[in-house]
Amino acid sequence: MDFSIETIRTEKEVDFSEIFNGYCPFCESKEVKKRSSHNRNVQELGTPFEKVVVFLTIRTYECQACKKQFTPEHLLYPPKYEVSKAVLKYALTRYNYNNSSGNEIARDLALLHNVAVSEQAVYKWLRELSPDFVKERLKKNNNDLPQNIQAISVDGSITNIAKDIIGKKKDVESLSVTKLDDGRYLLMWWE
């Protein structure tokens, strides 16, 4: 079997009518005027052979009736992120429920889904979004607990979101990690 297939780039354009019905969200007036617009390129989950890019035109409007400005937002493409909500959910699920490090997530996004994102960006998502992500899942099913709330990975990365998810915990007095002769690691702590 030949796996040397060239990566296909798929470009999607989001129709603005999907996110804006033409009415002011504050006063329901139909008298809205376009003030400005800019284009955004958002990475979407692809496959090992397909890179998916979504083009969004972001428009700011001013209501002529109430004089308020607003920018409609698409639920699948959150503002201030260069990736879709599907990419964010993938990263958060892998971290919180599969004990993957941010480095592994960034690598797998690039290799398996053709999403180019830095490890620093992934860790930023994990810090900022993990508490709300886990809390939302727990609201739907209170037995849907992550396996590990605090994770120390062997690849040198460390992230702690436990306080944000489950509240303040008592700190341990001392923590040590020792590499054993057989290559395993011994984690010890004293309270």
Q: Residue 29 domain-assigned?
A: yes
105 and 43 within one domain? no
Q: Of 23, 18, 129, which is closest to residue 80 (Cα–Cα)?
A: 129
Q: Of 47, 41, 48, 49, which is closest to residue 11 (Cα–Cα)?
A: 41
- Report the alpha-carbon distance of residue 94 to residue 162 in Å, rounded: 16
Q: How many residues does the chain have?
A: 191
Q: Residue 2 domain-assigned?
A: no
Does residue 87 have a pLDDT over 80?
yes
Q: Which residue among 70, 98, 123 closes a domain? A: 70
- Percentage of the chain beyond pLDDT 90 is 56
Q: Residue 179 domain-assigned?
A: no
95 and 158 within one domain? yes
Q: Residue 117 domain-assigned?
A: yes
DSSP 83: B
Domain that holds residue 61: 8-70
Give the model confidence (pLDDT) of 25-75 as tens digits: 999 999 999 999 999 999 999 999 999 999 998 999 999 999 999 999 999
Does residue 167 have a pLDDT over 60?
no
